[in-house]
Amino acid sequence: MKYIFLLLLFCSSFALGQTRYHKGYIVTHKLDTIKGDIGLKEWNYNPNLIYLKSAEAKERKEYTINDILILQIPDVCYYQKYQGPISIPQSEISSVIDSNFVFKEETVLLKRLFEGTYLSLFSYKDATKERFFVKDKNDKISELLSNYYRLNGVKESYNPYKKQLRELLNTYGINNEKSSNAIRTSAYNEVSLIKLFKTINLNQQTVTTKKSNSVNLFFGLTANNSKVSFHENHILTGKKSEMFVTPGITGGFIFYTNPHVRKIAFNIPIHIYQVKAKAEGEEELTFDRAKYGVYNYEDIIFSLSPNIVYNYYNKQNFKLYVSGGISFSFRLNMVSNYTTYFSKSYIQSEMNNRLQYDLTLNKAMFDLPLETGVSLKRIQLFAAYLKSVGKTIYSEGQYNIQSKTYRVGVRYLFGKIL
């Protein structure tokens, strides 16, 4: 089982930094529409270049902001080129309300969050801040302004964007009590502003980004090989543990940070599995006396193992991934005993004397799990390695017992798969 795990981990080195492609199109500055497969990544910020593989071209081609007017992947994202002023955030928060915003001229791709009959909402995020923009019926785009200041040591918000929106509503004659209240209670974030723009546009909208399932439930079966090892001053120190393969079940859910890309995910599995281990060895005391020791361990373990998953090879129906996190384990302490006797002795009473000790292991433990595997659409095949944190599951006197577990398994994912 150890070699299966190492093989899967070794295979991961052959696939790095994969980009996932979606059907879409771009409109160039020459007003040409180019359709093809667009490389979609985990864009933390608005993109400044993209890769597109058209039907005619065999190789992917790079397009920058200077080439693109519009970029769209249906039901996933829509970006529009913008050339104009963008606010520069202050390096320090002022102690007074500062109505003097500093701007710089930029060429960027704005992401459309909401397209309405009267006003549409866009966003632009870079390393300094996230900004929001409004496009009116005449296709004029302007930034919705917001800033912060300190009042008596408390961070407060200054929101000129509310006045901007009221003026636009007055221009189109749609400023009513409901819209005014929505503007007054709104906050400068994506969720709140999308809700506000729905109210402003009387819920009349064109949906450009369809919500995708960001959570998959799963259930699976596992095969586990747990090993124990004695350390420091003990007969069994350095002796190998026998191999037993024991069954287990697993279930939980996977949450994707970007459901369209599915590059990074948070996995929260629950494992219930049986463990069985045996270690035995002999110690020569003199040429005619030897002591023999046997440790038997059988148990049921419950564990909750939140971890971060990275799909380093990321295709729609085929993924290779690695994950790591921490596992909180609880054991029932069913069987854990150590038996010792003399395997040879010139003293007959020693030969007949067997001593058995119950070793109560720590009920609660932390493990560090490392997992690698392959996803074949709804099926995941995986191998994992778990090492107990703090080195010992049992410690007494001059020796301690450590544990590690190798696991292989299969999971079935429920829910929509992209």
Q: Tens of pLDDT along 2-58?
A: 544 444 444 444 444 445 678 888 898 888 888 888 876 656 678 888 888 887 777
Q: What mean pLDDT, rounded, does the chain reach?
A: 82
Which segment, 71-85, 210-224, 328-342, is predicted with the most confidence on average? 71-85
Reported confidence tier of residue 207, pLDDT bands at 50, 70, 90 = low
Task: With CA atoms as reference, report the closest residue to 277 among 247, 303, 241.
Answer: 241
Determine the number of helices (DSSP H) and then strands (DSSP E) in the chain: 5, 26
% of the chain beyond a pLDDT of 90: 34
Res 323: pLDDT: 94
Residue 95 has pLDDT above 60, yes or no: no
Whether the Cβ atoms of residue 341 and residue 353 lie closer than 8 Å to each other = yes
Residue 210 has pLDDT above 80, yes or no: no
- pLDDT tens-digit series, residues 128-176: 889 999 999 889 999 999 987 777 777 777 889 999 999 999 988 888 8
Res 249: pLDDT: 96
Task: With CA atoms as reference, report the closest residue to 113 among 129, 86, 131, 94.
Answer: 131
Lowest mean per-residue pLDDT among 81-90, 125-134, 170-179, 200-209: 200-209
Q: Which helix (H) or strand (E) holds 348?
A: helix 348-351
Separation CA 264–CA 273 (nearest Å):
27
Reported confidence tier of residue 251, pLDDT bands at 50, 70, 90 = very high
Residue 329 has pLDDT above 60, yes or no: yes
Q: What are phi and psi of 392, to 5 degrees?
A: -120, 145
pTM for the structure as a whole: 0.61
Res 360: pLDDT: 76
Whether the Cβ atoms of residue 62 and residue 53 lie closer than 8 Å to each other = no
Separation CA 311–CA 385 (nearest Å):
18
Of 15 and 223, the structure prediction assigns the larger pLDDT to 223
Q: Rounded to an integer, what is the distance from CA 102 to the centroid of its chain?
A: 37
Task: With CA atoms as reference, report the closest residue to 18 among 258, 376, 312, 264.
Answer: 312
Residue 337 has pLDDT above 60, yes or no: yes
Res 96: pLDDT: 54
Res 10: pLDDT: 46
Provide the token pair at 331.
């054991």
At a CB cut-off of 8 Å and minimum separation 6, what does 15 contact? Answer: 312, 313, 320
Res 106: pLDDT: 92
Q: What are phi and psi of 358, to 5 degrees?
A: -85, 125
Task: With CA atoms as reference, report the closest residue to 190 among 129, 258, 130.
Answer: 130
Res 396: pLDDT: 65
Reported confidence tier of residue 186, pLDDT bands at 50, 70, 90 = very high
Separation CA 329–CA 336 (nearest Å):
17
Res 352: pLDDT: 67
Q: Which helix (H) or strand (E) holds 274?
A: strand 264-286
Residue 351 has pLDDT above 90, yes or no: no
Any idea how long the chain is? 418
Residue 390 has pLDDT above 70, yes or no: no
Rounded mean pLDDT of 279-287?
Answer: 74
Lowest mean per-residue pLDDT among 117-126, 162-171, 185-194, 204-213: 204-213
Q: From 3.90.550, 2.40.160, 1.10.3470, 3.90.320, which CATH number describes the 215-414 domain?
A: 2.40.160
Q: What are phi and psi of 169, to 5 degrees?
A: -65, -40
Separation CA 181–CA 200 (nearest Å):
10
Res 93: pLDDT: 57
Of 263 and 184, the structure prediction assigns the larger pLDDT to 184
Residue 397 has pLDDT above 70, yes or no: no
Reported confidence tier of residue 310, pLDDT bands at 50, 70, 90 = very high
Res 135: pLDDT: 95
Residue 356 has pLDDT above 50, yes or no: yes
Of 295 and 353, the structure prediction assigns the larger pLDDT to 295
Rounded mean pLDDT of 55-79?
Answer: 85
Separation CA 31–CA 48 (nearest Å):
19
At a CB cut-off of 8 Å and minimum separation 6, what does 55 contact? Answer: 35, 36
Task: With CA atoms as reference, report the closest residue to 72 among 130, 126, 112, 12.
Answer: 112
Separation CA 139–CA 118 (nearest Å):
10
Reported confidence tier of residue 204, pLDDT bands at 50, 70, 90 = low
Of 86 and 154, the structure prediction assigns the larger pLDDT to 86
Which residues, listed in sequence order, are joined to residue 111 by a DSSP beta bridge?
79, 123
Alpha helices in 96-225 (DSSP H): 161-172, 177-185, 190-200
Provide the token pair at 333.
């302490």
Whether the Cβ atoms of residue 331 and residue 299 lie closer than 8 Å to each other = yes
Rounded mean pLDDT of 366-395?
Answer: 85
- Listed as own residue / partner, the contacts of 151-154 with beta carbons closer than 8 Å and 24 or more positions apart are 151/95
Please report, for the chain, the start and end positions of each structural domain, with discontinuous segments joined by +. 92-210, 215-414
Q: Which helix (H) or strand (E) holds 351?
A: helix 348-351
